[in-house]
Amino acid sequence: MSEAATLTKKDFVSDQEVRWCPGCGDYAILNGVQQVFASLGVPKEQFVLISGIGCSSRFPYYLDTYGFHTIHGRAPALASGVKIANPDLDVWVVTGDGDGLSIGGNHLIHAMRRNLNLKVLLFNNRIYGLTKGQYSPTSEPGKKTPSTPFGSLDEPFNPIAVALGAGSTFVARTVDTRLPHLKSVLEAAHAHKGFAFVEILQNCVIFNDGAFDHIAGREVRDDRLVDLRPGEQLTFGKEANKGLRFTPDSIEVVASEDADTWDSSRPAGARAFRICQGSEHEDLPVPVGIFRAVERPVLEDMIHEQIGQATESLGEGSLESLLAAGETWQVD
């Protein structure tokens, strides 16, 4: 039996004191990630966690793996370099709605477009927590914060729509308080060969407490969330007696037996776009689960194949020869 097969959650608990506010949703996510890492059958030394700046970005300190706490918004760029340099590593990025979708938005969408085999967890609490409660790219219109005292006027990003539009080959959403669902989504993301984006709805108890209670609270979540399970019907409700059906112009609520079957493998992803665009305050439930899971060539594989072909035809080459090639100048 390999070392990886005997790992437990405790093997991924670091010796660092966890410094999040009591009750923060990050604790639940950390617990889920540690459990999933232990179950994947991957040697511990192959995991690398890379983060930017924010409360979520303290993650690398709290898992006993290799990690890199980088600069604001640049985690996808650093992770891309790590993965290309050593494709055998299991590289995960932890970011937030501010770090990932504001200053880091450009790095994130290009990593998606390139389809590196990276796993990106975006903790969405709809607020800047580390800097004391300013509104973020996902804050709802009218949100009053220290930086928007009269209410935000911005239209927020929909992280799922951003990922679908940028070409992420795996797109999913889960909730910090639903541990079994969180773990199943993370396992599916890991199994995917290519870029995997997971939005995690996460509660900030200090600056945006209860941001998702109206859809994910214990009393309402059965009626307000619909789980996108590939190959299964789109059913929801406390009695699992309701479902969703697509029409040419809308999505309608029907009896569970009349619900459509979800297909996350559609390359165009038109239904994924449609179902992720609904308002949380409409009659339709909010989708969680797997929106898209499609296959496409992976960038690091193509890079190493190209390097191999060039080496075979041109030889190894050398940096010294490259620097001395072409026009050169001698300075006396």
- The rounded distance, in Å, linking the Cα atoms of 309 and 267 is 30
Question: CA-CA distance, 137 to 153, in Å (whole number)?
Answer: 11
Residue 322 has a pLDDT of 82
CA distance 55 to 44: 24
The amino acid occupying position 137 is: P
Number of domains in the chain: 1
Residue 241, in any domain of the structure: no
Q: Measured between alpha carbons, how far is 153 from 132 in angstroms, rounded to an integer?
A: 20
User: Is 150 a domain residue?
Assistant: yes
Residue 324 lies inside a defined structural domain of this protein: no
- The fraction of the chain above a pLDDT of 90, given in percent, is 87
Residue 51 and residue 121: Cα distance in Å, rounded? Answer: 10
User: Measured between alpha carbons, how far is 133 from 146 in angstroms, rounded to an integer?
Assistant: 7
Tokens of 79: 């992770």
In a domain, 170, yes or no: yes
CA nearest to 94, candidates 181, 20, 197, 18: 197
pLDDT band at residue 2 under the 50/70/90 scheme:
very low
* Residue 261 belongs to some domain of the structure: no
Q: At what angle do helices 25-39 and 179-191 cross, to 10 degrees?
A: 50
Q: Please check the confidence at residue 4 and state whether its pLDDT lies above 70.
A: no
Q: What is the mean pLDDT of residues 289-303?
A: 97
> Contacts for 45-48 with beta carbons within 8 Å, 24 or more apart?
46/88, 46/89, 46/90, 47/89, 47/90, 47/92, 48/79, 48/82, 48/89, 48/90, 48/91, 48/92
Average pLDDT over residues 173-197: 98
**Whole-number pLDDT of residue 3:** 47
In this predicted structure, the answer to whether residue 260 has a pLDDT above a threshold of 70 is yes
Identify the CATH number of the domain in which residue 74 sits: 3.40.50.970
Domain that includes residue 37, residue range: 4-211
pLDDT in tens, 43-100: 999 999 999 999 999 999 999 999 999 999 999 999 999 999 999 999 999 999 999 9
The whole-number pLDDT of residue 5 equals 61
Per-residue pLDDT tens digits for 36-52 = 999 999 999 999 999 99
| Across 10-33, average pLDDT | 97
Nearest in space to 43 (alpha carbons), one of 1, 85, 93, 95:
1
- Report yes or no on 192 lying in a domain: yes
pLDDT digits (tens, 9 = 90+) for 201-246: 999 999 999 999 999 999 999 999 999 999 999 999 999 999 999 9
What value does the mean pLDDT take over residues 307-328?
88
Q: Is residue 269 part of a domain?
A: no
pLDDT band per the 50, 70, 90 thresholds, residue 328: confident
Q: Which of 211, 225, 232, 237 is nearest to 182 (CA)?
A: 225
Q: Are 62 and 14 in contact (CB under 8 A)?
A: yes
> Cβ contacts of residue 321 below 8 Å, gap of 6+?
none
State the pLDDT at residue 281.
67
Average pLDDT, the chain: 94
Digit-coded pLDDT (tens) for 97-125: 999 999 999 999 999 999 999 999 999 99
Q: What is the pTM of this model?
A: 0.94
Residues 163 and 171: beta-carbon distance below 8 Å? yes
Residue 310 forms part of a structural domain: no
Share of the chain above pLDDT 70, in %: 98
Is the pLDDT confidence value at 279 over 80? Answer: no
